[in-house]
Amino acid sequence: MAAFPARDRAAFDRHWAVLRSTASGTTRTAVVGVQVAGIVTAWGDHPHRELAYWFGRQFWGRGIATAAVGLFLDVEQARPLTAHVAVHNDGSRRVLEKLGFRHVGQAPEDDLILDVFQLA
């Protein structure tokens, strides 16, 4: 459902290192049992704070993303908080809506159109 192509391992490691080293970044890992289910992260400075998350397919449809992002929002207090979702990603849309995010528009991203959600 993600709108962005998977990176090879080296590219992923570089991207992840940047996210983890960003002074304004907050990242948490979601664990179910002994398995990593996904990650939730936020970065950027007010008023342009961004939220993103990824969960493995085997954890979809079980409320895990909603619970993990909800717990993350207890830690991440910055508002407004913005998230971008591929227009075809109904699961991520539902996660955000359940947590109080509101659809505020659309934004082009390369060849994609992303729905923009914001938590005030």
CATH number at residue 54: 3.40.630.30
Domain that holds residue 19: 9-119
Q: What pLDDT sits at residue 3?
A: 57
For 22, other C-beta atoms within 10 Å of its C-beta total 14
Instruction: Give the model confidence (pLDDT) of 85-102 as tens digits.
Output: 999 899 999 999 999 999
User: Is 98 inside a domain boundary?
Assistant: yes
User: Is 14 inside a domain boundary?
Assistant: yes
pTM of the full structure: 0.84
Whether 99 and 72 have beta carbons less than 8 Å apart is answered as: no
User: Is 3 inside a domain boundary?
Assistant: no
User: Is 26 inside a domain boundary?
Assistant: yes
Number of separate domains in the chain: 1
User: Is 4 inside a domain boundary?
Assistant: no
The model's confidence at residue 35, banded by pLDDT at 50, 70 and 90, is: very high
**Residue 95 tokens, joined:** 């996660």
Res. 62: pLDDT tops 70? yes
Residue 99 backbone phi and psi in degrees, to 5: -95, 10
Q: What pLDDT sits at residue 115?
A: 93
Instruction: Beginning with the edge strand found earlier in the chain, give each strand of the sheet holding 49-55 in spatial order.
Output: 26-32, 35-43, 49-55, 81-86, 112-119, 102-109
Q: What is the DSSP letter of 72?
A: H
Q: What pLDDT sits at residue 99?
A: 98
User: Is 1 inside a domain boundary?
Assistant: no
User: Is 2 inside a domain boundary?
Assistant: no
